Amino acid sequence: MKFSEFKDPIYVTKPILPNLKSFSDALRPVWESHSLTNNGKSHQTFEREIKDYLKVPNVSVFNNGTIALITAIQSLRLSGDVITTPFTFPATTHVLSWNNINPIFCDIDPVTMTLDYSKIESLITPKTTGILAVHVYGIPCYVKEIQEVADTYGLRVVYDAAHAFGTEIDEQGIGNFGDVTMFSFHATKLLHTAEGGCLTYKDASLKSRVDYLKNFGIKNEEEVIMPGINGKLNEIQATLGLCVLDILEEERNLRASVRDIYFDKFRGIEGVTLMPHVPGVTKHSYQYFPIRIDETQFGRSRDEVHSILKSYNVHARKYFYPLCSDFPCYKQLASAEPGNLPVAQQVVSEVLCLPFYGELKDGIAEKIADIILSLRK
Ligand SMILES: *Cc1c(COP(=O)(O)O)cnc(C)c1O
């Protein structure tokens, strides 16, 4: 072995944390108030700061991204069929099931790996009410083209932007596209509250509906006006979110240098495809660093690279393998037929998310890249 294995495991990401003293100082007013949840002070401040950061007109924060996305679908009253991507984290498809909606899988674009807008039209039926697309790895969907299809057929558009916190197109926040956008604040996401999430939306009149839905539908002491759920973010986690926001730019800058290291190492290497450059993207989310390995050109399969990296204690991830359309709960759907999703099937056999977080800049990212390069045949 040319390289020594890493003493401590290197995972795909590492949550950033404020120092404990600043977090406990920030918690003091929460302790003193004894107000721990239900739209408290930290919740309100966090919601305002997220709104500014994301450059969006309306935000509702939630206890996690999945509940937020379930609520988004409820708030738009979607039903019947919704067209979506199979190449995503399981939550995207599951939120449709939790709303008694049939997911209709649509193939993805070979370059951006997001929904192939040119294939949406042929999947629309009288039962179709919406499109649920994902800015996978923080790469923006074809938002303009998707909106055109939606407008032609009177469909609603929901975006899963769990990976796209901070992404901007022409300096516009990614949360300004479509009807509703969900961001996740799970611990593995760049901005996190350990568990949490939010919805952003253009239509200010949705705010009251979304906020009722996330609080049991309670309007006041005597009126419950819709079948809501408990989607509230508590004060402790909202306070953590505020502290994480304070250190976010520092981490973004570090991740930018890790990204540069990987780009320099892999640029021009046959058999390795890097994140595509999407025109118009003026700010990146720095959420993931996926590469695609073409077995015939690289001489090794993605699975071989993945398992050899493990022997060095490097735990890269095959996000998002397997495709949602291949889960036992969805694979009987007509749209899940692998022959209908040739690009997604190909991409999912090639992708590997490399460890990607600020601390890797001190020689670690270089070594991971060198290990991978040494495997090339
Ligand atoms: C993380 C993630 C979610 C789920 O968010 P939670 O906050 O963990 O519920 C949904 N979709 C995608 C694409 C994700 O990566």
Residue 209 Cβ contacting ligand 1 at under 6 Å: no
Q: How do strand 223-224 and strand 197-201 relate by DSSP bridges?
A: unpaired
The residue whose CB lies within 8 Å of the most ligand 1 atoms, and thus the one to mutate among 186, 193, 233, 288, is: 186
The ligand 1 atom nearest the CA atom of 68: 9
Which residue is closest in CA terms to ligand 1's atom 13? 89
CA distance 194 to 213: 22
Residue 91 Cβ contacting ligand 1 at under 6 Å: yes
The residue whose CB lies within 8 Å of the most ligand 1 atoms, and thus the one to mutate among 98, 184, 185, 353, is: 184
Q: Which amino acid is at 122?
A: S
Q: Which amino acid is at 288?
A: Y
Residue 178 Cβ contacting ligand 1 at under 6 Å: no
Q: How do strand 128-134 and strand 156-160 relate by DSSP bridges?
A: parallel
1 has pLDDT over 70: no
Distance 96 CA to ligand 1 centre (A): 14
Q: Residues, the chain, total?
A: 377
Distance 54 CA to ligand 1 centre (A): 18
323 has pLDDT over 80: yes
The ligand 1 atom nearest the CA atom of 195: 7
pLDDT of residue 60: 98
Sheet holding 272-273, edge to edge: 272-273, 289-293, 351-354
CA distance 144 to 150: 10
CA distance 368 to 9: 12
Residue 65 Cβ contacting ligand 1 at under 6 Å: yes
Burial (CB < 10 A; 0-12, 13-18, 19+), residue 371, is: buried
Which residue is closest in CA terms to ligand 1's atom 7? 65
The ligand 1 atom nearest the CA atom of 197: 7
Average model confidence (pLDDT) for the chain?
97
30 has pLDDT over 70: yes
Which residue is closest in CA terms to ligand 1's atom 2? 162
CB 261 within 8 A of CB 365: yes
CA distance 175 to 266: 31
Percentage of the residues of the chain whose pLDDT score is greater than 90: 99
pLDDT of residue 368: 98
pLDDT of residue 157: 98
278 has pLDDT over 90: yes
Residue 162 Cβ contacting ligand 1 at under 6 Å: yes
Find, among 71, 62, 37, the residue nearest to 228 by Cα.
71
Residue 137 Cβ contacting ligand 1 at under 6 Å: no
pLDDT of residue 235: 98
CA distance 356 to 358: 7
Q: How do strand 223-224 and strand 218-220 relate by DSSP bridges?
A: antiparallel
326 has pLDDT over 70: yes
| CB contact set of 197 (below 8 Å; sequence gap of 6+) | 61, 62, 63, 64, 65, 66, 67, 68, 69, 162, 182, 183, 184, 185, 186
Which residue is closest in CA terms to ligand 1's atom 5? 65
How many CB atoms within 10 Å of residue 128?
19
The ligand 1 atom nearest the CA atom of 184: 7
Residue 184 Cβ contacting ligand 1 at under 6 Å: yes
Percentage of the residues of the chain whose pLDDT score is greater than 70: 100
Distance 353 CA to ligand 1 centre (A): 16
Mind listing the pLDDT tens digit for each residue in 194-210?
A: 999 999 999 999 999 99
Average pLDDT over residues 53-76: 98
Distance 321 CA to ligand 1 centre (A): 15
Rounded to whole angstroms, what are the CA distances from 27 to 193, 233, 373? 14, 15, 46
Distance 56 CA to ligand 1 centre (A): 20
The ligand 1 atom nearest the CA atom of 134: 13
CB 164 within 8 A of CB 171: no
Q: What is the 3-state secondary structure (H, E, C) of 83-114?
A: EECCCCCHHHHHHHHCCCCEEEECCECCCCCC
336 has pLDDT over 90: yes
pLDDT of residue 29: 98
pLDDT of residue 361: 87
Distance 118 CA to ligand 1 centre (A): 26
